């Protein structure tokens, strides 16, 4: 299972989500306050990261490095 920290946070908040995994990369889809969010891991040419719309629901952005913590930092600002 991937994106463990994100899944744990969503569970703590009681937010429903859907998790899938393909080729060793995780994907999480969830709704919050009527908006749909997506976090998708990728690994291309040895470079791993994630793509998500958590910072701007209408636009996907790439996150690198400690991408799961970066994404969680955005979500935690929602309260």
Distances (CA, A) of 56 to 21, 25, 46: 24, 22, 27
Element (H or E) spanning 5, and its range?
Answer: helix 4-13
Domain residue limits, the chain: 4-76
Instruction: Give this prediction's pTM.
Output: 0.92
Question: Which whole number is the average pLDDT over 48-68?
Answer: 95
Q: Is 16:37 a contact under the CB 8 Å cutoff?
A: no
CA distance 37 to 54: 6
Q: Is 76:13 a contact under the CB 8 Å cutoff?
A: no
* % of residues, the chain, pLDDT over 90: 89
- What is the pLDDT, as a whole number, of residue 20? 97
- What is the pLDDT, as a whole number, of residue 79? 77
């Amino acid at each position: 299972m991937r994106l463990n920290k994100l899944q744990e946070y969503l569970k703590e908040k009681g937010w429903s989500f859907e998790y899938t995994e393909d080729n060793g990369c995780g994907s999480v889809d969830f709704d919050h306050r009527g908006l749909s969010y997506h976090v998708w891991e990728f690994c291309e040419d040895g470079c791993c990261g994630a793509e998500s719309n958590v910072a701007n629901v209408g636009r996907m952005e790439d996150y690198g490095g400690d991408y799961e913590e970066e994404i969680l930092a955005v979500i935690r600002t929602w309260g």
